[in-house]
Structure 1
């Protein structure tokens, strides 16, 4: 995919997140049990923390430095640190969507030639800014499918 296609794909995924997350009940209650609230908070919290990790410590680093070191994302470590998971579900959703808007602004402001810049990934070697975005769009599809499945389960109970 070229740069424009990747941006369009990420915009489409962002719209889907917006649509899916607007159906998330914001507080536990008749529509959302405490367990379901905890499940959603964990998924969205980890997603928010990973997205922050990718934006701040991968993408921005590649834009600022020449071939920076890029460590592997360790999901279990992120779950332990849970920077955002302490937030109520409604705030978590808002933080995630705000991050996504900021990411899209960053991508739209980044010159096309800059997308070929690379970082040195801990286990994969050189990886480009563009490849990281491609992987994000791919991962988005999986996460959106999981969120949709969970929300359908919640609605059917």
Structure 2
């Protein structure tokens, strides 16, 4: 059987582990939420958390299947060392997604420590510069564009989410 993700057993196994990790994290969050609403029974309702439990179960099932396919594929392919140029290509291809996820996980801490506006400016500016430099190379012009876009994103979030959405609706 050919592994479904790029024909690579390792990528398939990694995707399966990611799905299992997300399902476990989601289950822990869901269990905490269920504990907060445990005194609110509704007759005939399977619970307000049934759909979330169903989705997490499907995610865990998919992760288990992908992990199993990846493990079987790794077993069949055997272990071989990668040449240096393939290793560097792998680091490049996985570096941006891992960095993006890490920066998203650090965002709540940055918002608490720096404030919403500065955290959004930093996050947006850095990622716009990274993406522009990956496409067109490093340049001062890209840094300026990234700072302008980051400031615009922070202004948009401040205006829409902080100012306008806190206004009461007209009766």
Whether these two folds match at TM > 0.5 is no
**Which has the larger share of helix?**
2
TM-score of the two chains, using structure 2 as the length reference: 0.30
Q: Select the structure with the greater relative contact order (CA < 8 A; seq sep ≥ 6).
A: 1
**Which has the larger share of strand?**
1
TM-score of the two chains, using structure 1 as the length reference: 0.32
